[in-house]
Amino acid sequence: MRIILPLLLGAAVLASPAIAQDAPAKNNRVVKDTHTVNDGGARRGANSFTQNQAREHIAKSGFANVSVLAKDAHGVWRGKATKDGRTVDVALDFKGNVTTGK
């Protein structure tokens, strides 16, 4: 009996952090589903998107005819696309933000 109580207490202490964890918040996602920013300010950072993934993400953000994209020295995918009948400069940063303008 003397051994069982400390073992149960130890198991409860070790299990408490797992019980306290919540599901991750939706705003903690690194790659956003669709987010377009019109500030011309793509964020610098190591970008793990492939060119095809970048093109698909930009298209899901409402752009069509996404041109060949090129990753710049700051890790931002840049190219041209059309939206609402106009050709615009687009950029995709490492967080998944699609920006327009330069």
Residue 26 included in any domain: no
> Residue 49 belongs to what domain range?
31-100
Residue 88 included in any domain: yes
- pLDDT at residue 68 greater than cutoff 80: yes
Residue 87 included in any domain: yes
Give the Cβ contact number of residue 96 at 10 Å. 20
Residue 4 included in any domain: no
Residue 50 included in any domain: yes
Give how many domains the chain has, as a whole number. 1
pTM of this prediction?
A: 0.57
Rounded to whole angstroms, how far apart are CA atoms 27 and 37? 16
Q: And the tokens for 44?
A: 């610098």
Residue 91 included in any domain: yes
For 70-102, what is each residue's pLDDT tens digit? 999 889 999 999 999 999 999 999 889 999 986
Q: Are strands 98-100 and 70-71 parallel, antiparallel or unpaired?
A: unpaired
Contact status, residue 85 vs residue 65, Cβ threshold 8 Å: no
Contact status, residue 93 vs residue 36, Cβ threshold 8 Å: no
For 26-59, what is each residue's pLDDT tens digit? 444 444 444 444 445 566 667 788 999 999 999 9
